[in-house]
Amino acid sequence: MIRPLVAGLILVGLAVGIWALWPRETSDPPPTTVPSAVEPTTPTLAPTVTATTTSLPTTSTTADTHVVATVAEAEEILQTLWFGWFEGIYNQDEDRIREVVGQESAVDEARAQFGVMEFQREPRPSDIVTSDTEILRTDDQCLAVWTNLGITGFSSGASTGVHVLRWTGEKWVALSLWEFRNDLWEDDCQVVLEPLS
């Protein structure tokens, strides 16, 4: 009972932290790799819904496994999930958010940003960029990635941290984001995922 509550609070802090701390459009080119402090939270991502969305990348290293083996695969999954998160907020689409997150509290946090988060235009998959990426853990249930994630185009800013993704049996979803590499993110790899309502 405590873990889902803590994870929910972390997710709320992440979304608010990302929205509040990312710089706004200025006359200078938007930064894509400037780190900023972010509260730990729990985001998540998922597959295509409409023509404007993208499918989650195939992460099979063999014909019967979904374990992520390369940094390029991990970055592609992260970019797809974060695009889904921002697209869902832009379109005020709770179903789109549910496709990319692992907990209902993440849907609540996204809903709180509907009409609040500022967008210069509709998000595109290419607006989500990653750099300095390192896989901290990869197995058939959990993927933990340290990366600098930036957004451009519809907004601007960057955040560095550990992204914890979980395998649902069908797709990878975002569960949490931790600011520091040595935070207690490993426990998130054991959290029991419950179906979203």
The C-alpha angle with vertex 137 and arms to 134 and 141, in degrees rounded to 5, equals 135
Q: What would the two tokens of residue 105 be?
A: 């509290």
73, pLDDT greater than 90: yes
Q: Where are the domains of the chain?
A: 2-189
> How confident is the model at residue 19, as a pLDDT?
42
Under DSSP, the state recorded for 56 is P
pLDDT (tens digit, 9 = 90+) per residue, 94-144? 999 999 999 999 999 999 999 999 999 999 999 999 999 999 999 999 999
Polymer length in residues for the chain: 197
Dihedral (Cα; 184, 14, 44, 123), 10-degree rounding: -150
Ranked by mean pLDDT, the top range of 22-36, 53-67, 147-161 is 147-161
29, pLDDT greater than 90: no
Instruction: Give the chain's mean pLDDT.
Output: 76
**Cα separations in angstroms, 78 against 3, 26, 52, 130, 145:** 23, 26, 17, 8, 9
The rounded distance, in Å, linking the Cα atoms of 99 and 173 is 8
> How confident is the model at residue 62, as a pLDDT?
40
Per-residue b/e over 85-103, b at no fewer than 16 CB within 10 Å? bbbbbbbebeebbbbbbbb
What's the rounded mean pLDDT across residues 153-167?
94
Kindly indicate the confidence band of residue 194, based on its pLDDT and cuts at 50, 70 and 90.
Answer: confident
Tell me which residue of 103, 70, 75, 106 sits closest to 88, measured CA to CA.
Answer: 106
**Bigger pLDDT: 29 or 13?**
13
pLDDT (tens digit, 9 = 90+) per residue, 74-91? 999 999 999 999 999 999
Q: How many CA atoms lie within 13 A of 58 on its CB side?
A: 6
Helices (H), the chain: 2-21, 71-90, 94-100, 104-113
> How confident is the model at residue 60, as a pLDDT?
42
